[in-house]
Amino acid sequence: MYPDAREVMTGMTTMDTLENLGQWSTADAAELYQINAWGAGYFGISDEGHVIVRPDTTDAAEIDLFEVVEGLRKRNLTAPVLIRFSDILAHRLKHMHEAFATAMSENGYKGQYAAVYPIKVNQQRAVVEEVYRYGEPFDFGLECGSKPELLAVMALTTETPDRLIICNGFKDDAYLEAVILSSKLGRRIIPVIENYDELRMILKHAARYDVRPRIGVRIKLSAEGTGRWAKSNGVKAKFGLTASEVLDVFNVLKERGMEDCLQLVHCHPGSQLNDIGCVKEAVGELAYVYAELKQMGAGLQYIDVGGGLGVDYDGSQTNFYSSMNYRLQEYASEVVYRIGSVCDEREIEHPTIISESGRAIAAYQSVLVFNILGRCGLDELGDEVITRQLGEHAPQPIRDLIDAYISVNERRLLECYHDAVQAREQSQLLFRLGYLPLHLRGLADRLFAATCQKVRALASKLDSLPEELLALESILSETYFANFSVFQSLPDSWAIDQLFPIMPIHRLDEAPACKGVLADITCDSDGRIDRFVDLSDVRHTLDLHALRDGEEYYLAAFLVGAYQETLGDLHNLFGDTHVVHIHLHEKGGWWIDEVIRGDTAAEVLEYVQYDVRGLVNRIDRDGEKAVRDGRLTLRESQILLRFYESELAGYTYLEPEVTGAD
C-alpha cells in the first residue's frame, strides 16, 4: 500500500550544492548581487570576499568596507552606521564637470557650465561643506529651496561670494529680503521667480536696499516628465510661470528699465528622470524660451536645466523607475547640443549652462551598514521520518499534507502544491475551531513548508516556472532582523517603494545559504524590505548567508546619499545613526575624517519635548521610595540610577550584549 513511503527532509538548497562542490567564487557573488551594474565602478568585491570601495572607479585605490566597519566597531562606533566616502563625492563632481566639458568641446559650445548643488538633497553640514569644497575648482555653486536653506548658504559662502547661489521654492517677503541682502553682501545670487507675486517683493527690497538684482524665472513647461516626479512639469505643475506670466515679468522689468536684470531661465523636469526623451523635450523647450526672451532684449546669461539626472539604482540601464536609460555623458551631450543648436539657429551667444543635479551628485557617497540580529524562517521538519502510517489516525488535512509531501514529483508539482495549500488552510481552520491539537497544527505547518521546499527544488529544474509557483520564493524566505529603522534611514523605501541595492559586505567568497527578506527593529509591520534590485525585474528575496554564533553578519544599503537622511523620521524614537566620513590616505589605506555620533536616547526624547533632567529626577525619587519600602537596597537604587542615566546617553539602536560583572 505504501511503496517506499519513507522520506527524510534534507533541507539542502541549490546554493549548498554549489558550495559543496566548491564552485562558488567571488565572481558568482558579483553576478548574484549585480554589484558591477549598479556600483558604477565605485564598488566591487575583493578576493577575500569583502565589498571594496573604489572612490575614483579604478583599482588604484581601494577601501575594504568590512575592514572599515571592524575599525569603527573597535572605536565603539557600532552598527548601524552611515559611512560617507568623501572621495566618491569629489569624484562625482569632477565627473559632472568632465562630462559637460567633453560635451561642450564636441559640440563647439562656447559658453560655460556650472552645477549648483541643491542642498535639500542632503543638507547635512558636512556634506554641503564637502560639495562646496570639492566643487571649487569647477566654480560650482549651491541651490536653496527654502529660507532656512538660504540662511545656511549665506553664511557658508562668505569667502566665495562669486560662486553662484540659485534660490528656488516658495518665497515669502523675508526670504526675498535675505536674497537682496545677500546681493548687497556681494553674493552672485539669483532668485528664481516661481509665482508672479514674488516679482513685486523682489522689486520692493531691491529698491529699499538700492540693489540691482539678478532675477530668474521658472518656466512651466508643456512637456510632461516621466517616472514618479512626472508632475513636476506640465500645465498643472505646482511651480513655474506660464508663457504669458513670463512675458508679464519681462514687461514689468522693461517698463522700469530693468530688463538686464532678467538673467536666468529655469525649468525642473522632475527628479530621477528615467528616460532621456524627457530631458531632450524639456531642454529644447527651455532653450526656445531663452532664445525668444534674449531676442526681446532680456539680459539673459544663464540657462538652468534643473535637476533630474538619474541614478541607476538597479543597474539595468532601462527606463524602469529605479533605473535610467542613459548615462551622464549622454545627458550632458543632449543638454549642450539642444541649447547650442537653438542658440545657433537664433544667432545668439551660448549662455552659461547650469544644472541642479542633486541625486546624481550625492547618492553614491553614502553606504548604510547594519548588522543582523537574528532570523526566523518556516518551521522545518528536522530529522522526522514521514510515512503515510504517521497520519493513519490523524485528521484528514494532516493525512492530505503527508500525501502531498510524499507524492511530490516533477509531473505533479502544481497538483501537490495545490493539495498542500488547501490542506494547510483546512488544518488552520480546524485549529481555530478547537478540533486540532497544537502539536498537529505544528506538524501541519512543518509539512507544508517541507512540501513547498520539495516543490521549489524540482521546479528550479523546469525551463519555465508556472506562475503560481513564483510565490514559493516569498513563502519559503527567511526573515532576517536588521538593526536599523527603515523609516529613519531608508524612508523612500517605505514611502515610495524606492529600490536601493542591498547586499552582504563580507563572506562573499561563500555561497549564500538561503533567501530572505529584511525586517527592521521598529514595531511596525511596514518596517521591512522585501523588494530588491534585479536587472530584469524586482526580486522579492535577497540571498543571504547562514548566521554564525558569536559572529556579526553585516549587510549594507548602497547609494543612499540622496534624500534619505533628512527625510527620515523618529519612528519608535530610533534616531540618527552614527555617521563617519572616510577618506583615502595618500599613503594608501583610509582614515576617519569626521565622526558624527548618532542621536542619544536623551536627544530624541528632548526632540519630542521630554525634559530629560525631569525624567532622571522622577526615577531617582522612585528609587528612593523603593528603598524606603524595602524593594531595593540603597546600592541597587544607585545602580539603577546610573544605568538609567547611562542609557539616556546611549545609542538608540540595539547594541552588543554587555558581558562580565557590573
Tell me whether strands 528-529 and 514-519 are parallel, antiparallel or unpaired: antiparallel
192's CB contacts (< 8 A; 6+ apart) are: 166, 167, 168, 216, 217, 218, 264, 266, 304
> Hey, what's the torsion of the CAs at 10, 14, 15, 19, to 10 degrees?
80
532 phi and psi, to 5 degrees?
-130, 155
Determine the Cα–Cα distance for residues 365 and 385; give it in Å rounded to an integer: 53
Angle at 66 between CA 64 and CA 71, to 5 degrees: 95
Nearer to ligand PLP, 88 or 398 (CB): 88
State in angstroms the smallest separation of the CB of 170 from ligand PLP: 11
Q: Are 186 and 209 in contact (CB under 8 A)?
A: no
Is residue 357 a contact residue for ligand PLP (CB under 6 A)?
yes
Rounded alpha-carbon distances, angstroms, from residue 563 to 121, 266, 526:
5, 22, 20
Q: Which range of residues in 8-16, 86-94, 354-362, 381-389 is near ligand PLP by CB under 6 A?
A: 354-362
Nearer to ligand PLP, 34 or 355 (CB): 355
State the number of binding residues for ligand PLP (CB under 6 A). Answer: 14
Q: Which range of residues in 64-72, 302-310, 503-511, 629-637 is near ligand PLP by CB under 6 A?
A: 302-310
Is residue 264 a contact residue for ligand PLP (CB under 6 A)?
no
Is residue 168 a contact residue for ligand PLP (CB under 6 A)?
yes
Q: Are 100 and 113 in contact (CB under 8 A)?
A: yes
Give 161's DSSP letter: T
Rounded alpha-carbon distances, angstroms, from residue 268 to 194, 222, 618:
11, 12, 53
Nearer to ligand PLP, 118 or 191 (CB): 118
How distant is the alpha carbon of residue 540 from its chain centre?
17
Is residue 308 a contact residue for ligand PLP (CB under 6 A)?
yes
Q: Are 184 and 209 in contact (CB under 8 A)?
A: yes
Is residue 356 a contact residue for ligand PLP (CB under 6 A)?
yes
Is residue 227 a contact residue for ligand PLP (CB under 6 A)?
no
When CB distances to ligand PLP are compared, the closest residue is: 307
Is residue 92 a contact residue for ligand PLP (CB under 6 A)?
no
Count Cβ atoms below 10 Å from residue 580 Cβ, excluding itself.
Answer: 21
Using CB under 6 A, pick the residue from 141, 307, 351, 527 that binds ligand PLP: 307
Using CB under 6 A, pick the residue from 180, 237, 309, 444 that binds ligand PLP: 309
Using CB under 6 A, pick the residue from 55, 118, 240, 512 that binds ligand PLP: 118
Nearer to ligand PLP, 163 or 359 (CB): 359
Question: For residue 459, what is its C-alpha cell?
Answer: 521546479
Nearer to ligand PLP, 208 or 231 (CB): 231
Question: For residue 477, what is its C-alpha cell?
Answer: 524566505
State in angstroms the smallest separation of the CB of 202 from ligand PLP: 18
Using CB under 6 A, pick the residue from 306, 491, 501, 598 that binds ligand PLP: 306
Q: Are 452 and 476 in contact (CB under 8 A)?
A: yes
Q: Which range of residues in 12-20, 351-359, 549-557, 637-645 is near ligand PLP by CB under 6 A?
A: 351-359
Residue located via cell numbers 545613526: 577
Helix ranges (H only) for 241-386 are 243-255, 276-296, 328-345, 359-362
Q: Which range of residues in 307-315, 493-501, 547-555, 568-576 is near ligand PLP by CB under 6 A?
A: 307-315
Count Cβ atoms below 10 Å from residue 137 Cβ, excluding itself.
Answer: 11
Using CB under 6 A, pick the residue from 359, 515, 528, 571 that binds ligand PLP: 359
Nearer to ligand PLP, 192 or 482 (CB): 192
Is residue 268 a contact residue for ligand PLP (CB under 6 A)?
yes
β strands within 338-407, DSSP E: 352-355, 366-376, 385-386
Nearer to ligand PLP, 39 or 118 (CB): 118
State in angstroms the smallest separation of the CB of 309 from ligand PLP: 5
Nearer to ligand PLP, 80 or 307 (CB): 307
Give 601's DSSP letter: H
Question: For residue 635, what is its C-alpha cell?
Answer: 546600592
Using CB under 6 A, pick the residue from 358, 501, 561, 568 that binds ligand PLP: 358
State in angstroms the smallest separation of the CB of 562 from ligand PLP: 6
Is residue 121 a contact residue for ligand PLP (CB under 6 A)?
yes
Is residue 271 a contact residue for ligand PLP (CB under 6 A)?
yes
Contact residues: ligand PLP, CB under 6 A: 118, 121, 168, 268, 271-272, 306-309, 356-359
